[in-house]
Structure 1
């Protein structure tokens, strides 16, 4: 039997935002982006978004030319409000994690306007790549 309180557990059906972090062939190794601690970036996202969003690591999002790639998917409420996944590329500045975390904590896509600085990272992947993430 779990000792977790019912308040600490997510409510049934309460879908949180999801933050998908690419850590495949191009987005994870220091050879491509040597000045960034890739594992620290992922750890910072997981720590700052604990209980707020699901942070998951994937092998490849097939947008290698834009390493490091992070996708912010809206919560169920955010999607109902019109939010759609936001693709961020070249997220190689340690300060970007703080901006992403603050935005997702405030609601993320559909519920809060992204910080202006994230406009520098936003891109639209091909339909095929978008479709693969939705599966």
Structure 2
């Protein structure tokens, strides 16, 4: 008797993902004295909550823009044409608040970046972009 394949439960739509560089110069007080790197990461995670995912990675290889944060669109944002947005020099609390607000509002492709974040945006080289883990 042939078995019918089970239909897997539909996967939850991919949320906005915030990737924070924390393993190299971005996450050290040596390069940015006075910045509470652990506090920033905790504020992002708490603020974003269920609206997205926050992950810390070792190095994004864009050290000239330290502290680097990448905001990647949700599935909805990608369908609307959104692409990952690389933000540099994310050092102040108001920038963290703007990232949190943006994620909660829908992120890239759904709503434009708020506040001063458009001034923090930079373009990463294809070499760096293609070398990043999925």
User: How high is the TM-score relative to the length of structure 2?
Assistant: 0.89
Unaligned runs of at least 5 residues, structure 2: 1-9
Query: Which residue number corresponds to residue 128 of structure 2?
Result: 129
Task: Give the Cα–Cα distance (whole angstroms) in 2 for the partners of residues 123 and 26 of structure 1.
Answer: 18
Report the alpha carbon displacement of residue 12 of structure 1 after superposing the two structures with TM: 2.6
Moved over 4 A (4+): none
- How many pairs are equivalent? 125
Q: How does 1:68-87 map to 2 (within 5 A)?
A: 68-87=67-86
**2:4 maps to what in 1?**
none
Q: Secondary structure at the match of 2:18?
A: strand
Structure of higher CA gyration radius: 2
User: Is residue 91 from structure 1 mapped to residue 90 from structure 2 by the alignment?
Assistant: yes
Match of residue 66 from structure 1: 65
Q: Give deviations 1:92-135, integer Å, cap 9, x for gaps.
A: 11110000100110000000111141012100010011122363
- List gaps (5 residues or longer) in structure 1: 1-10
What is aligned with 1:103? Answer: 102
What SS class does the counterpart of residue 70 from structure 2 fall into? strand
Aligned to 2:34: 35
Query: What TM-score, normalized to structure 1?
Result: 0.88
Q: Distance in 2 between matches of 1:134 and 1:74?
A: 16
